[in-house]
């Protein structure tokens, strides 16, 4: 089962695979036991305000040229220029 959780402290959505029953996973020579309901944290998707993203881009050597945001303020597309 797949579960997505918003972690407000970390500002991210966390993706988890949740075991429906007790099972063992074998990867190469290693064995991992999972209980029913136990989850594997598989992915993080960080969420930033426009100001946070522009700052992150600037710290990585990019300048914000322009950005577009949906009416609800949930999604944005940024046009960045390398400095």
Q: Residue 9: its pLDDT value, please? A: 92
Average pLDDT over residues 65-72: 97
Give the residue extent of every domain in the chain.
1-47, 48-83
Residue 67: pLDDT band by 50, 70, 90 thresholds?
Answer: very high
CB-count burial class (<10 Å; 0-12, 13-18, 19+) for 13: middle
22-31 long-range contacts, Cβ below 8 Å, gap at least 24? none
pTM comes to 0.64
What single string gives the DSSP state of each residue in 21-48?
Answer: S-EEEEETTEEEEE-TT-EEEEEEEE--
- Which pair of tokens denotes residue 77? 């597309």
Q: Residue 65: its pLDDT value, please? A: 98
């Amino acid at each position: 089962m797949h579960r997505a959780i918003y972690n407000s402290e970390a500002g991210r959505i966390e993706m988890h695979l949740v075991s429906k029953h007790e099972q063992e996973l074998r990867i190469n020579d290693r064995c991992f036991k999972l209980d029913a309901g136990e989850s594997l944290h598989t992915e993080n998707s960080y969420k930033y305000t426009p100001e946070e993203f522009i700052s992150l881009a600037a710290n990585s050597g990019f300048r914000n040229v322009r950005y577009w945001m949906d009416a609800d303020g949930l999604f944005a597309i940024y046009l960045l220029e390398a400095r």
